[in-house]
Amino acid sequence: MPKRWCQWAELCGLCNNPVWGYGPRDAVIMLVGECPSRQEDKRGIPFVGKSGQELDQYCKKFAHVDRVGCYVTNIVCCRTDDKDRDPEPQEIDICTSQYLVPSIQTIRPKFIVAVGAVSARWFLGQDVEMQKVHGFAYSWQDHGVRATVIPVYHPSFGLHDTRKMRFIQGDFEAVGRIVRGQQGLKQLDRVKGNYGIWV
C-alpha cells in the first residue's frame, strides 16, 4: 500500500511514490513539468522517460544548456492515472503549496522554464493560450521570489506529432537567448491572478 504523502490521498494512492525534484540547490535554471509519467513514477526521478530524453536533447542542442546544472521538478509530484491525465485544480493547489513553492523559495532560480500547458498556466494564469506565450520571457514575482518564466511546449508534443518539433526547437532556442541575455521580456496584457505580478 503506497504511503500517503499529502492530504490528497486519492492522487497519492495511484502512484508508487511521489517524484521529488532534483538538481543543484543553487541552480540558475529550474525546469518545471506537469506531472510524473509511468517511467518517472517507477524510477522516482522527473523527466527520465522518452519525454525526458527529448528534453535533454532540446536543452543541449538548441538552448545550449546542460540539464545536469538545472533543478528539475513538476507541478504535481504524483502520477495522476494510467492515462496520465492532466492534474485537477485541487491536486495542483495542494501539491504546489506543499512542494513546488518551497522548492522555488529554496532554489531561488533566476529562470523558470515552464514545460507544458499545465506548468505555464500555473505561472501565467489559467486563461493563457500556449500558442500565444510559448518561447517568450515574462517577469514573475511571488512568494518572495523574482524570476523570469519562459513557457515552452512539452517535449511529448513533438513525440505525438513530429511536425510540432520545430515549435519546441524554437522554444528552446529562445530559452538559450533569454538565459544569455539576448532576448528581452515580453509584457502580458493583464495582471495575473493568484500567482504573481507581471511587470
**Nearest to 153, CA basis, from 162, 145, 144:** 162
Give the model's pLDDT for residue 3: 45
Give the model's pLDDT for residue 84: 67
> Domains along the chain?
9-179 (3.40.470.10)
**Model pLDDT for residues 30-59, shown as the tens digit of each residue:** 999 998 888 888 888 999 888 889 999 999
Question: How far is Cα 80 from Cα 75, in angstroms, rounded to an integer?
Answer: 12
DSSP state of 100: I
Give residues with Cβ within 8 angstroms of 135, minimum separation 6: 150, 151, 152, 170, 171, 174
Q: Using the predicted structure, report yes or no on whether residue 185 has a pLDDT greater than 50.
A: yes
**Nearest to 199, CA basis, from 135, 149, 143, 151:** 149
Mean per-residue pLDDT, 184-194: 60
Confidence band of 153 (pLDDT split at 50, 70, 90): very high
Least confident of 59-73, 89-103, 184-198: 184-198
